[in-house]
Chain A
Amino acid sequence: MGSTSTKIKLRTSDQKVFEVEKAVAVQSQTIKYIYENGCPDSVIHVHSVSGDILSKILDYCKKHVNSAAGKEDISPEELYEWDANFVKVDQNTLFDLILAANCLKIESLLDLTCQTVANMIKGKRPEEIRTTFNIKNDYTIEAEEAVRRENKWAFDMLGGVGTMVIEELADDTMSKCVTNTKSRVCVIAANQIVMMRSISKLANKKSIDVYKQPQNPTTPRIKESVKQRNVGTGFIELFFHFKCKM
């Protein structure tokens, strides 16, 4: 009896049974190994994966198998997009997907999910990472200070490229150094004016991104008036008044 497509049965941790095509199931190296070395007719138990997660994983495997086999008309860019949407899930699901991909040994899915987590981490500060992943800060007080110094150093760049955290703005200090309007202030990094913001906007933000080129189109004009008024060094002192906290 020859069937055109062999099916494999998979039973999950919550006793759900999935019947899938062999080509899809053997995307998992673990299942492939069991199938080729165990009993091909009986059900394969995937103990550590729940029904919901396995269902998602099988969707992924099916999509990739079909696209590789040409059964589905999907370009590489579209597949990439599909993958990107696939991992737009809540954290718990993402975590479960990683564990399952690891245990089932589906390399491309493990790649995808680990890269997603890496992307979630990039660009964040340590406190934000701890909050996102609910990680306990187990540093001593002194070690935490050292971490702060290390991070401060890591963020120091020439040309003002980077991110500066603003804390405890002293309004009266700022207003002494402003230019034409009392409510605006220039932020200086590396002796270049990089942007202008109103004090209230700065006070509400936790951090600002500092760019090499001024973001505000009026800034070049202000820069000129700053030069004329000879308040250049005043601004630089202002920069040091910011309590740059990591």
Chain B
Amino acid sequence: MSFKSIIQDMKGEFGSISRKGFDVKFGYGMRSRSHRVVQDSSVPVDVFKQSCWANMPPELLRDVLMRIEASESTWPPRKNVVVCAGVCRNWREIMKEIVKTPEISCKLTFPISLKQPGPRDSLLQCYIKRNRSNQTYYLYLGLNQASNDDGKFLLAARKCRRPTCTDYIISLNCNDVSKGSSTYIGKLRSNFLGTKFTVYDAQPPNAGAKVTKSCSTRLINMKQVSPRVPAGNYPVAHISYELNVLGSRGPRRMHCVMDAIPASSIEPGGVAPTQTEFLHSNLDTFPSLLFFRSKSTRAESFQSGPLSDQKDGMLVLRNKSPRWHEQLQCWCLNFNGRVTVASVKNFQLVASPENAAAGQEHENVILQFGKVGKDVFTMDYQYPISAFQAFAICLSSFDTKIACE
């Protein structure tokens, strides 16, 4: 099939899509080509019976879905929102429009919420449980301020030691934390010494990034079941640990460069990149679309401006310097009650201008991590980092060998 005829066919498709509010950012679904209608085999569909609900006016369907989204605001009831998005494509489009990103709504809804920046002006409270027997860490969203026993599972990470480095594989599935799994999200890799870490995302942080060759195969072999896009390794953050000027007698210094987030994001009016869908899921975006993506769409998916500029403008986070408490004879940081056990792993990250002198740092804590029990740690994060990035940064704190007396 020639390139030209593919374009013409697609144009024909667009013409027939007359639904109001067809949103470009959800991708151009090649609806009648590569998809197969899956009937629920349990119900014999009477072809003569026209379902009345199929003719429900869109604004009424939207009203119903909005009610569900508004009433199910906490977990576990929030799973009903995810369920509604899984009914059919129409419902998914509407639900995705209704659900706002965590930045705006302060709520986590879909798995992709974990890749989106956290709320502005308020910390999202989560906690991490460590399972020493299987070297796995589980991240939960805290549901109950009082206890860390109620939580919504978010991510799982498993430590894999290798000859020259250590990897933490991060996944959406608490039972299957492996790189080959379809729920693989990214990983944290440490160097041999445990002083430098890199966070890798399985998919490009910005939707407009280059894709691998396998996508062009997908476009040509449209009648076949498309092969899954292999998970990539896109570095999104670099973390390093150093001893501070007091050597091992003082708290270590953390330095995080967020490759994917511009420094301008924390300034008034700044934005941070927000992923809208997992590329390998085929649910809303069609990666081959990048073939045809027009300039305007690219501008839409690039939510931050000068990301193409390399090293300048990346957000840098440093840990807030604790104060020496003379009477208690220890280093103290104010965790607002969220951390109760002293540990070298505890830290608070704030934005720090790259060339700033020591002590000249922002006050706003972007990520806070600390111990509250034997294998329980709290993690609080906010805009502009995402839950995935926050989790990965916290994992580095477990692994680093830099300690202090």
Contacts and interface: CB of A to CB of B under 8 A. Distances in A.
Interface of A: 91-92, 95-96, 98-99, 102, 110, 114-115, 117-118, 121-127, 129-131, 133-147, 149-159, 161-162, 240
B82 A154 contact: yes
B160 to A, nearest CB: 19
B377 to A, nearest CB: 14
Interface of B: 31, 34-40, 42-43, 45, 49, 51-54, 56-57, 60, 63-64, 67-68, 71-72, 75-80, 82-89, 91, 110-111, 129, 138, 140, 149-153, 172-175, 182-183, 225-226, 228, 278, 280-283
Given A99-B57, A137-B37, A149-B182, A130 B88 contact: yes
Contact of B173 (A95, A138, A145, A153): A153
B126 to A, nearest CB: 11
Given A137-B40, A157-B152, A102 B173 contact: no
A149 B83 contact: no
Contacts of B31: 138
B40 A155 contact: no
A98 B60 contact: yes
Given A126-B83, A135-B88, A144-B38, A158 B60 contact: no
B372 to A, nearest CB: 15
Nearest to A145: B182
A122 B80 contact: yes
A150 B67 contact: no
23 contacts: A99-B57, A118-B64, A118-B68, A121-B80, A122-B72, A127-B40, A129-B83, A130-B88, A134-B43, A135-B88, A137-B37, A137-B87, A137-B88, A139-B88, A141-B36, A153-B82, A153-B172, A153-B173, A154-B79, A156-B153, A157-B76, A158-B138, A158-B153
A43 to B, nearest CB: 26
A134 B54 contact: yes
Contacts of B228: 142
Nearest to B49: A134
Nearest to A152: B173
Given A102-B60, A142-B281, A149 B173 contact: yes
A-B CB proximity, top 5 nearest: A146-B281, A134-B51, A154-B82, A156-B153, A154-B79
Contact of B37 (A122, A125, A138, A162): A138
B151 A158 contact: yes
Given A147-B86, A158-B153, 6 more contacts: A98-B56, A130-B40, A134-B54, A137-B40, A139-B283, A152-B173
